[in-house]
Amino acid sequence: MTQPVEAVLQAGLAELAFPAERSAQGLPALVRYCELIHTWSQRLNLTAHPDAVSIAGQLVLDAVALEGVLPPARRLVDVGSGAGIPGIPIAILRPGSAILLVEARERRHHFLRMAIRELGLENVRALHGRAEALDPEPHDCAVAQAAGQAATVIDWLLRWTAPGGSIAIPISPDQPVPATPPSIARAEVRAYRVPLSGRARAVWLGFRAGE
């Protein structure tokens, strides 16, 4: 199983023009992460993708492509992380950044903790609870993928975003752009494509004013 998964990820990283050193360092962990999702999904229903190759090509490379258009961030929080998408691939590719995974479902939280240990990710931490109920920890960037209605998600993410930081919500290119709340100084949409499949994607970015 490992070789096809590795080949898919390697080809996707090459298409995204990732530096060779970054690709070589992150590739083994990305491969193992795909295998972990596949193995544990059989008991936790983490994804509908049937095998690790599909997980690599559809889920992980999507997260890798998203990482390339996100603003720099020393600290990033993934709200409603689920199986760790996009937080864990971002953590693998940004080893110098501290990543927090927030997940309300207990079994998925346990999967995240296991994956962090298995992958040896010293820059990642998992937090169990609902983002709107927990005491927020301000980060430079807050991301939420498929966590709910955009207006509601923006409110959640703002609690977790430091002044001068950004929030990021992946959207479909044909999806209506979320309304910009007064607490956001400026907003923009960045388009990107998932490598190999060429699937068009976009991310809405809102930037908080500094204080």
pLDDT, tens digit, 9 for 90 and up, residues 86-119: 999 999 999 999 999 999 999 999 999 999 999 9
The CATH T-level fold of domain 63-208 is: Rossmann fold (3.40.50)
Domain positions in the chain are 63-208
State the DSSP H helix or E strand holding residue 7, giving kind and residue range, or none if neither.
helix 2-15
pLDDT, tens digit, 9 for 90 and up, residues 67-87: 999 999 999 999 999 999 999
- CA dist 179 to 21, 165, 168, 209, Å? 40, 18, 13, 17
Mean pLDDT over all residues of the chain?
91
* Separation CA 184–CA 186 (nearest Å): 6
Residue 175 pLDDT class (50, 70, 90 cuts): confident
